[in-house]
Amino acid sequence: MIEQIRRQFELAWALADLHLSALAEDDFLWEPAPLVWTVHRDESGLWWPDWADTEPDPIPVPTVGWTTWHMIFWWSTALAHLSGSPVPDRASISWPGTDASVSRIRRLGDQWRDLLASLSDADLSAPSAFPWSEGSGRTVADTVLWLNVELTKNAAEIGQLRMLRAAH
């Protein structure tokens, strides 16, 4: 099964890379609607995302900046969980900026590819609580499959935002 997961990742990555490569500076903070989640620069120059612990209703439309921050957040967290490293707190993960966010996502993609290369079919049945809670009964296979789907979803969101912006 690990071979199929690796191939699924490469397919998802190809879609993500297509959209990431086409991003222009102005795409990141473009707001497609009055109600958005985006990133904001603080007094020290760091960028922080909008966030709510309980999902608001209606759900804000994420900007490309927010979506790239979110990719950095969940990918960093998943890699930490699966490698046994300290898991970063969401509030400690700032958005690195336009070009830097794409570079960071590419590095995370390389790290993910390396992690997938290190896994065997037997490793996939080990328990994994991310992104679920402890005792969920989920496995490493669930986590890596979830991540591949999350990557696909975020790539599609970025692509859709790019197309909407181009149409305006």
How many angstroms separate the CA atoms of 163 and 168, rounded?
9
Q: How are beta strands 61-62 and 47-49 bridged, if at all?
A: unpaired
- Domains by residue range for the chain, with CATH: 1-19+61-167 (1.20.120)
Under 8 Å between Cβ of 95 and 68? yes
Neighbour count for residue 27 (Cβ, 10 Å)? 19
Under 8 Å between Cβ of 139 and 125? yes
CA distances from 23 to 20, 26, 49, 80, 160 (A): 5, 8, 19, 28, 12
The pLDDT of residue 133 = 86
pLDDT per position as a tens digit, 66-88: 999 999 999 999 999 999 999 99
In single-letter form, the type of residue at position 11 comes to: L
Under 8 Å between Cβ of 27 and 162? yes
pLDDT per position as a tens digit, 96-152: 999 999 999 999 999 999 999 999 999 999 999 899 988 899 999 999 999 999 999
How many angstroms separate the CA atoms of 59 and 79, rounded?
27
CA nearest to 155, candidates 58, 26, 23: 23
